[in-house]
Structure formats: structure tokens, C-alpha cells
Amino acid sequence: MSAPSLDAVIVGAGVVGAACAYYATRAGLSVAVVDRGPVAGGTTGAGEGNLLVSDKEPGPELELALLSTRLWRELAAALPPEDAVEYEPKGGLVLAPDETALTALRAFAAGQCAAGVEAREVDEHELAHLEPELTKGLAGGFHYPQDAQVQPARAAAALLRAARSRGALVRLGEEVTAVLTGPHGAVRGVRTPRGELHAPAVVNATGTWGGRLAALAGTRLPVLPRRGFVLVTEPLPPGLIRHKVYAADYIADVASDSAALQSSAVVEGTPAGPVLIGATRERVGFDRTLSTEALRRLAGQATALFPRLADVHAIRTYCGFRPYLPDHLPAIGPDPRVPGLHHACGHEGAGIGLAPATGLLVTAALTGDEPPVGAWPFRPERFDSRGPADDFSDPFDRPDGPPPSPGART
Amino acid sequence: MTPPVDLAVVGAGPAGLAAAVRAAGLGLSVALLDAGERPGGQFHRYPAPGLRAARPEALHHGWRHFARRLRQLETGGVTYLPRHHVWTVARGDGCWLLHAVVGPDETPATVRARAVLLATGAYERQLPFPGWTLPGVVGAGGAQAMLKSGLVLPGRRVVVAGSGPLLLAVAASLAAAGARVPAVVEAADYRAYGRSLPAVLRTPAKLAEGARYGGGLLRRSTRLLTRHAVTAAHGTARVEAVTVTRLDDHWRPVPGTGRRVPCDALAVGHGLVPQLDLAVGLGCATRRTADDTHALVVDADQATTVPGIWAAGESCGIGGADLALTEGEIAADAVARTLHDVPADPRRHAALTRRRTRLRAFADAMAAAHRPGPGWADWLDDATEVCRCEEVTAGRVREAVAGYGAHDTRTVKLLTRAGMGWCQGRMCGQAVARLAGGEGAAAVESRPLSCPVPLRPLAQLPPEAEEFRA
Ligand SMILES: Cc1cc2nc3c(=O)[nH]c(=O)nc-3n(C[C@H](O)[C@H](O)[C@H](O)COP(=O)(O)OP(=O)(O)OC[C@H]3O[C@@H](n4cnc5c(N)ncnc54)[C@H](O)[C@@H]3O)c2cc1C
Ligand SMILES: Cc1cc2nc3c(=O)[nH]c(=O)nc-3n(C[C@H](O)[C@H](O)[C@H](O)COP(=O)(O)OP(=O)(O)OC[C@H]3O[C@@H](n4cnc5c(N)ncnc54)[C@H](O)[C@@H]3O)c2cc1C
């Protein structure tokens, strides 16, 4: 029995793989989506769903984010209401604790505005109006009306469901163990424990595990994990926290190369009531052990912004591993080293936001159409010039598992 | 900073209490932390002081031994810390850090210890059915606990239902306290114990206990219906009746066999689930039990797979208060040997080990008999609320599975919010796993916060840098 012929196999059913499947099937392509786990079982299920332009400096990522902002708005209208992706164009509020921070923020925002971001300075008085529970005495801040929110797992599931309704084959619980190549090195499909899936293109949407899939295809992509913790509170009355609120030092953290723990909590309410406080950033490999230091900082920063939260209970905390590349930009597009292999991974802390634009870019590459934004900065082979693959091996990239107990390291 | 204690015990139930007292007796410095107001755990409960109940021991066996341990707790050098809810155990510099919130004000406290014994017990398993959220429907263990501590009855005419040996004890206590118990509805078949008769025969105390319950019930004309279940509770403001239905071997309701039994309360429970949050957070390995829950893997010394962490009692598998005590004593001896080279008393050790083997065998036989059959989910209609905290119905869970690609509890949770509320899936986890199509037990849930913690104590944790300097 021969399966209907496929145009592409998309590996990964996170938000990025789901968005690729959505746009590819919308363009009339026939695709299969394969994931070793369930939908959103990777980093997508641990993400917060901020669709931010406010934290991005002018450049290729911001361009992608601005396109995605528009696409998410369209998707929210196009997806059936029962999908309940919880899209909320609530806007962001970036705060400057003192005059120094405010001056820096002004310069940053001016650059963003020139690149097409909407940002407006708000004084202390207006801050109190926008966020009544906010602490007093801040120097000021900026309001970013384009910042929005979705529920990441529901968004991924909805995109995948739409793709399936347009004929996408969805195979969950199946790990890709080999990328098949032909005599001239071109990709011709993948192997899973259930058999082979043949297609002239394979899309690597495996997020944090993108380097491993690249290796299966005989090439390399230095994707590394960057851990983040999120704190979730008990449900609070609606309207208590209205925007995505964070302090200005967050922007510096995002672009940092440091392996140490950094955090600057984004605080936001959700339609279901709980407030999300997240997230920390640190490079510790795939270690899931709870870091009380991470919780201390998240709680400290959130209560500094919103004193009322001090008496509110955290009922849950979780962590995930952002897929990041050394220059903090994703790898999107065809890999010239392995014909037929496409990458769509390495979105670090912005993969939910950047997923639709990524899906469009990948689809354009598959159909040969003009890409909606320039894809050159995201080319996957850009790390080659830096030297041999070993240069990217990371001391923190150790396999899953808790660290030794205190007794064992006296 | 004060030096760490030798041993911190979490949980002052039979296991933790026995271990703390024994370890202190062997010369260890011991801290005993418990979320509750008073020692005794789920088993030993005191009547609330105002009630002036004369004989709490009437509802307990082993009260005498318990009273002896309490005296030792007061005199024997254990730092007893009631109202301390430990929310995580973290690795400090050369010692463990037990972070707790204390009392109604939830103030922070941290205990430092060289070794930790987790004796966190178990909680009751609930399987949903239409009407289970009505007032008057209470947990079977909860009804028992209410009786022991407050001597209050959940109703005057109480149906007892679910599965597990606790049901008979609960029915007997309710009857003894003056309630009418029209029926004990047990989904499994006690005859299943027959298959492991040798284990039962080596545990005569259990048989005697069973006979006592049975006798007490018969005298009060209670019907014992095995292979039956309460498949619906009816009522408007509170439960007025239940539907009792016959089950097949897989716990599927047999069509046409339902009948209504009037009552004003229903005490229902499906066995106990080990409380593992702290242990899972530490990375301790777990095993799947015969009744589809997870319990800690421990070795002959009650040591978990994480060096420096021991466990005893129901967190190592449900087995009753006697087994919990025995394991607590074994663990205390082992910790003393490890930390202070206190030599083992070979006769005592052999006796304790034999006792543990015998009780464990019996517990495993019971667990196998009372394992929920896969067909129980058939009694859930789509409108039945599965997750009470977030008000998620069975229909919505089924839709997430059929329409959106969920096939495990985590994904169902992400897509429907089932298990995201206050109880963090402790109530609905088993039901969601079943509806998600998983065979048997759900994966072990990781709950890094073992209880809700206000942000203030989190923000006031000692900064890590300082901790390392200390
Ligand atoms: C704490 C935290 C907060 C975050 N907050 C935000 C936020 O607010 N906004 C935002 O935009 N982003 C946020 N992110 C980042 C965002 O979650 C990620 O960038 C995004 O989810 C990446 O999606 P993905 O589809 O590339 O990867 P994933 O969701 O990880 O999907 C990859 C999939 O590939 C599968 N896979 C891997 N290898 C194989 C194989 N060999 N065979 C089959 N399947 C395989 C995996 O099972 C997985 O399902 C956050 C991340 C974290 C950790
Ligand atoms: C509701 C209920 C009713 C029961 N009724 C009966 C009965 O009638 N007859 C009978 O024979 N058996 C009964 N049992 C079983 C019996 O209670 C157990 O066999 C026995 O108590 C097990 O002892 P343990 O020490 O392992 O745990 P437990 O007695 O459960 O003690 C565990 C202790 O740990 C504490 N704890 C847990 N987590 C934390 C934390 N993170 N921080 C601080 N403290 C913590 C709890 O507060 C509790 O005090 C019942 C069990 C339950 C759950």
C-alpha cells in the first residue's frame, strides 16, 4: 500500500511545527507532522504566550515579530471560536524604575518606533491609571499597544487541527530516528519506529532538540537549552493586572550571553484568573531541579512591581528549555548543506510570537515563492564560518537528570 | 547559623513519629515537621478539644503505643514543629534545606538537615461520577477522619461506596457512631483475596479486623454489595439518593441493573494515593503499584534512590498504619547507622524486616484486588465535572483527546485547564489519565511546590549567594 505522496515532513508538533503545517497546507502543500510526544509537549507547553514587540531592538527579529503580530491578529479571527486560543491584544507596559533607566528606555523606544513599533511614553500619573495596583514612585514607562497574548498549547493545537482539516497527516507519539537521504545527499524522508515517510523536504521544527535532528541529517546547528522558570498564582479577580508589565532591565537580559541566572519578571493576568510571573533565564543544560533562587527573584520582582501580590499564593511553578542559537536569532529556511532540509528552530524566548511568520517563511521556501521578509539573517549555515562543530559544544548541555545530592559532593 | 540537625522527618503520622522518636533515642538530633496541628497523621486523630470526647481510643487500635510515642516526643529530644508545611526540599551547601510555611500566617521557615526522612503519607483517591460534587458527598477516609476528630456524622443515612479495605472500617465506625448504613458498595470482589490467601493467612490480625467489621455491620443490617458501584448521586440542594449499579469484571456498569438507594450522605473513596511531591521534586525514583498509583522505590534500609533521602510509610506504598510504623523504625535505625555508625541490633532488625515483608505482601495483594478496572470511565457522562477546581467536564477532556491531539494528562491539562487549579490535579489526575486513553496509571505528576506558597515568603528566601557562603 503506498501512502499519498507528501511534499514535506515537518518534525515537531510545537507551535512552530504547527504554524509551518498551517501555512503549508493553506498553500496547498501536502504535509505530515511527526512528533515523538503529544502536541505542544516540548517547550511550547512551558511557554507563556507573550507576543512581544516591546522587548526587541530594531533588526531582523523585530521585523519577524512585527509580521507575526499582524498574523496572530488574523489567526485569532480566522480560527474557530471553539479553539479558544485566548488571544488578547492587551498591550505591554515597560517600566523605568529611575531616571537613568527612563533615559535608556526613551532611546530604545525611539529606535523601535523608527522601525515600525508603536510605543508611547507614559508618566507616573498615567501609569497609575493604566495599572492601578502598580507600585508608586516609578520614574515612568512606555506603553506598547501591539504586545499581545495567546495560550501557547491551545494555539499550537488549533493550528495543527486546522492543518489536519486541510489534509495534513498528524503522527504523534512517533520519534524520528533517521533522516533519509538519497545517493546525492538530498533528503528523501524520515524514519520512525512505525516505518518510513517519504518526501522531498523535511522541516526541522524540533525546537531545543534542533541540533540533534540536524545531526541525524548529517549537518549541524548549535541549538542549546536555556532554562526558564515561571510562577503561577492562584486565580485573582479579572482586571487586577491589565497589561504585560515588566521592568526595563528585561531587555538587557534577552540579549545577554551570560550563563548565569538572570531574571526580570514579566507580570500578567490571564483570562482564567491566575497571574503568570516569568521567566528566568539560565544555561544549565536540561536540568529540571527546582531552583529556589529563581523563585526568590521572580517573587521579589513581581511583589516590587505589584505590592498586593505579596499575600497572593503561588500554586504552581514549572520550567522549560528555550531553544537558543549563539546569536539569539532563529534558524529559518533551506539548508544548503543538505538539499531538501529546512530548519525552523532556535527561537529562544520568542517562539510563540514568531511562529506564524516562521511558518510563512518556511512555506515560501517550500513553494519557491517570494519570502514575506528577508530570510538571509536566519540562514542556518551562518555558524559554519566560526569553525568546527566542536566549538559549539556547551559544558552545560548535559543529559536530563538531577545534580548530585549534597552528600555526594562533600 | 545553627548547625544542621542530623535528621529532618517530614510527616508526623505513624511512620514519621515512630522514626523521629526512635532516631532521637539512638542519639540523633531530630526535627519533626508536620503540616498538621497535632501529631498522628491520618491515622491517629484527636477529638477537637471543645468536644470533650471521653475515649478517642475507641475508634483507634494501637492508641496505647501511640500515646507512648507522644510522651517520648515530649521528653526525648525531638524538635517537633507542627503547622510546618514543607513546600520543597532543596540542596544546600553540604546539607538539605527544608523550606516551609508556618501556621495560618504562612511565615517562612527553613530547617537544615544532614539527612531527610519523607513520611508524607497518602491521600484519598476520588473517581468522579455524575453528582459527585453535590453537598453530602464526602470522602470515605474524610468521613472517618471527621468521626475520629470531631465525632460528627456526615448524615444519618450514609451509603459507603468505592473500593478498598478502608470502606469496611468506615462503615463500621459510622454505624458505631449511630448512623444507618444501608449499603457498603464495593467495586472489587473481596474473593480476589483468595488468590493470595497465603499472604492473608500470615496476617491474622487483618483477618480478625475484617471479622470485627463484618460482625458489626451484620448486626446493623447493612448490605455488602461487591462488584457494584455508585454510578450517580441525585439531589438538588444535597444528595437525596444514589444509583447503585452492578459492574462487570472491568468495572463497566451492567446496563439495566441500576437501582436507587435513598440516603442523605454518601461516603466514597477508591483507596489511597501516596503523597510524593517532595520526593519527586528531589528526583527520587518511583514505581508503579498494583492499584495504579505510584510509590517511592526504597531499598531494604528504606533509602530512596537519592543518597541522603529516606522514606517510610504510605509514600512507599499503601499498607496501613502497622506497616508505616515498622518502616519508620527500620529507617531510623538505618539513618543512625549511616550518620553515627550506631550498630544494628541484628535480632531487632530481623524481626522488623520479617514484619515488613509480611505486611507488604498483604498490602500488595489488597492493592491488586482493588485496582480500578478500566471501565469505570463509562459511568461519566459528558456533563460530569472531572476537575472541580477549574470546572472542566468529561466532555471537554474527551474533545481535547479526540480533536486536538492530547493523549496524556499534561497535554489535557494544557488544553483544558483540568488539574491547573488549587489542588493541582490531586483530585482529578487519575480520572483525566483514564479519559486521555492512557492504560492504567498516569505518569507521576511533578509538583515542585508541594503546597501553595504566598509570594512574600518566596521573596524573602535567603539569596543563594549568601547560602553558599554560610
Ligand atoms: C519559561 C518559558 C517562557 C517562555 N515564554 C515565551 C513567551 O512568552 N513568548 C514566546 O514567544 N515564547 C516564549 N518562550 C519560548 C517558546 O516557548 C519557544 O520558543 C517555543 O515554544 C519553541 O517552539 P518550537 O515549536 O520550536 O519547539 P517545541 O515546542 O519544543 O517543539 C519541538 C517539538 O519537537 C519534538 N521533537 C524533538 N525531537 C524530535 C524527534 N527526533 N522526533 C520527533 N519529534 C521530535 C518535541 O517532542 C517537541 O514537541 C518561553 C519559553 C520558556 C521556557
Ligand atoms: C483520609 C484517610 C483516612 C484513613 N482512615 C483510616 C482508618 O480509619 N483506619 C485505618 O486503619 N487506616 C486509615 N487510613 C490509613 C492510615 O491513616 C495510614 O495507613 C497511616 O496513617 C499511614 O501512616 P503514614 O505515617 O505513612 O502517613 P500519614 O498518617 O498519612 O501521615 C503523613 C503526615 O505527613 C504530613 N505531611 C505530608 N506532606 C507534608 C509536607 N509537605 N509538609 C509537612 N507535613 C506533611 C501530613 O500532614 C500527615 O500528618 C486513612 C488514611 C486516610 C488518607
Distance A123 CA to ligand 2 centre (A): 55
pLDDT at B68: 83
B445 and chain A: CB distance < 8 Å anywhere?
no
Q: Which of residues 177-236 of A touch B (CB under 8 A)?
A: 231-235
In chain A, domain spans: 8-48+153-223+327-408, 92-145+225-324
| Cβ atoms B299, B353 nearer than 8 A | no
Q: What is d(CA A104, CA A122) in angstroms, rounded to the nearest whole number?
A: 15
Would you give per-residue pLDDT tens digits along chain A (410 residues)? 445 589 999 999 999 999 999 999 999 999 999 999 999 999 999 989 999 999 999 999 999 999 999 999 999 999 999 888 999 999 999 999 888 889 989 999 999 999 999 999 999 999 999 999 999 999 999 999 999 999 999 999 999 999 999 999 999 999 999 999 998 899 999 999 999 999 999 999 999 999 999 999 999 999 999 999 999 999 999 889 999 999 887 666 666 665 555 557 899 999 889 999 988 888 888 888 889 999 999 999 999 999 999 999 999 999 999 999 999 999 999 999 999 999 999 999 999 999 999 999 999 999 999 999 999 999 999 998 654 444 444 434 443 333 333 333 22
pTM: 0.90
Task: Report yes or no: B392 and B417 within 8 Å, Cβ to Cβ.
Answer: yes
d(CA A127, CA A143): 9
Q: What is the pLDDT of residue A280?
A: 83
Q: What is the block-wise mean pLDDT of chain B (470 residues), using blocks of 10 residues?
A: 91 96 96 93 66 50 77 86 97 94 94 98 94 95 84 90 90 87 90 57 52 55 89 96 96 95 96 96 95 95 98 95 96 97 92 95 90 90 91 92 86 90 86 78 82 95 55
pLDDT of residue A393: 45
Largest CA distance in chain B: 71
CA-wise closest residue to B456 among A316, A314, A279, A315: A314
C-alpha cell at B313: 510509610
Residue A161 CB contacts under 8 Å (≥ 6 apart), including other chains: A83, B403, B404, B405
Best of A43, A62, A216, A232 for a ligand 1 pocket test (most atoms within 8 Å of beta carbon): A43
Confidence at residue A44, expressed as pLDDT on a 0 to 100 scale: 96
H runs (alpha helix) in B302-393? 321-340, 346-369
pLDDT of residue A200: 97
Cα–Cα dist B270/B247, whole Å: 15
Distance B356 CA to ligand 2 centre (A): 18
CA A195 to chain centre: 31
ipTM of model: 0.86
Q: Does the domain spanning A8-48+153-223+327-408 belong to CATH 3.20.20.70?
A: no
Q: How far apart (Å, rounded) are the C-alpha atoms in residues A352 and A18?
A: 11
Query: Which residue in A196, A212, A406 sits closest to A321, CA to CA?
Result: A212
pLDDT value of position B466: 41
> Model confidence over A151-165: pLDDT tens digits?
999 999 999 999 999
Instruction: Report pLDDT for A145.
Output: 97
pLDDT at A295: 94
Q: How far apart are CA B373 and CA B163, in angstroms?
A: 11
Is any Cβ of chain B less than 8 angstroms from the Cβ of A107?
A: no
Which of A11, A23, A44 gets mutated to test ligand 1 (max ligand atoms within 8 A of its CB)?
A44
C-alpha A105, offset from chain centre: 24
Provide the shortest C-alpha distance from residue A298 to chain B (in Å). 8
Cell of A198: 517519504
Q: A251 - beta bridge partners?
A: none
Residue nearest to atom 2 of ligand 1 (CA): A47
How many Å is the Cα radius of gyration of chain A?
Answer: 21
Among A234, A293, A298, beta carbon nearest to B464: A293
* Close Cβ partners of B14 (under 8 Å, ≥ 6 residues apart): B40, B41, B43, B44, B66, B313, B321, B322, B324, B325, B328
Spell out the alpha helix ranges (H) of B237-320.
277-282
pLDDT at A30: 98
Q: How confident is the model at residue B311, as a pLDDT?
A: 98
Ligand 1, atom 3: nearest CA belongs to which residue? A47
Q: What is the 3-state secondary structure (H, E, C) of chain A?
A: CCCCCCCEEEECCCHHHHHHHHHHHHCCCCEEEEECCCCCCCHHHHCCCEECCCCCCCCHHHHHHHHHHHHHHHHHHHCCHHHCCCCECCCEEEEECCHHHHHHHHHHHHHHHHCCCCCEEECHHHHHHHCCCCCCCCCEEEEECCCEECCHHHHHHHHHHHHHHCCCEEEECCCCCEEEECCCCCEEEEEECCEEEECCCEEECCHHHHHHHHHHCCCCCCCEEEEEEEEEECCCCCCCCCCEEEECHHHHHHCCCCCCCEEEEEEEECCCCCEEEEEEEECCCCCCCCCHHHHHHHHHHHHHHCHHHHHCEEEEEEEEEEEECCCCCCEEEECCCCCCEEEEECCHHHHHHHHHHHHHHHHHHHHCCCCCCCCHHHCHHHHHHHCCHHHHCCCCCCCCCCCCCHHHHC
Q: Does domain A92-145+225-324 have CATH number 3.30.9.10?
A: yes
